[in-house]
Each structure stands twice: as structure tokens, then as C-alpha cells.
Amino acid sequence: MADANAECNIKVLCRFRPLNESEIVRGDKFIPIFQGEDTVIFGGKAYVFDQVFPTNTTQEQVYNTCAKQIVKDVLGGYNGTIFAYGQTSSGKTHTMEGNLHDPQAMGIMPRIAQDIFEHIFAM
């Protein structure tokens, strides 16, 4: 039987984006209710993830929480995979790429490249 306290190699993190302008104009409502760092409630039903990121989470916070350790592990010789999954216009490209010309808005991929090159130059 597996150890219930053992750390899982797969993490599921869920990031929520704010309503966009057309959704606001249409009168859409933001319905998720966040409970702690790992739970979101929709229609009275709780969904638990390894981490939930509310709409005000920065790109840096997302990177530090979900990717930074994976990059360190990969540089140490382990395998690692990060991917975004979601419906059209849910924020995958924003999270993974962001704005390459704004250091605060850079997504996961440019931050990974930055960390890899910093590691190389430090050798």
C-alpha cells in the first residue's frame, strides 16, 4: 500500500483569470469562491487542487510556486514537465508566455529560460 504521507510527483494547480471586458459588458458574474490555498467552490461543491491561484496572483508567484523547483530538479538531472490545459481564452498563453517585453508580466517559459541561462553563466 502506498504511503499516504509520501509526496506525489504530479501536482495540479489551478489559476483563475478575472473576467475580461466583454464578459463584464455582458453582465457575467465571477462565481468561484476560494477557500484556503487549495480549494475552490462552484455551486456549493468544493474542488481541491494542490494549489489554487486567484485572479490577483502575479506571474512571478505562479512561477515560484509551480515551476521554479521543477527547473532546479531538471538542472540536477531529473525529468520535468509543465503544461497548461484549459478552454479557449482561459489564460493558458498568458500564464505560459506572458509579455516578453515586461519583466513583471513574463510567463513561465521565459522565466524558465532565464533561470537556465543564469545557471549556465554561474558555472
Residues annotated in a binding site for ATP: 86-93
Judge if 23 and 52 occupy the same domain.
yes
Distance CA 53, CA 17 (A): 9
For 26, the grid coordinates are: 455582458
- Which of residues 56, 74, 98 is at a domain's end? 56
Task: Collect all residues with Cβ–Cβ distance below 8 Å to 106 and sequence separation of at least 6.
Answer: 59, 98, 99, 100, 114
Judge if 6 and 26 occupy the same domain.
yes
Query: Structural domain of residue 120, as residue ranges?
Result: 58-123
Judge if 21 and 72 occupy the same domain.
no
Judge if 14 and 64 occupy the same domain.
no
Distance CA 86, CA 75 (A): 28
Residues annotated in a binding site: 86-93
Judge if 92 and 106 occupy the same domain.
yes
What is the tens place of the pLDDT at every residue in 79-122? 999 999 999 999 999 999 999 999 999 999 999 999 999 999 99
Question: Into how many domains does the chain fold?
Answer: 2
Q: In the β-sheet with 33-35, what is the strand arrangement from edge to edge?
A: 33-35, 39-42, 45-48
Task: Collect all residues with Cβ–Cβ distance below 8 Å to 85 and sequence separation of at least 6.
Answer: 92
Q: What is the pTM of this model?
A: 0.86
What is the tens place of the pLDDT at every residue in 37-64? 999 999 999 999 999 999 999 999 999 9
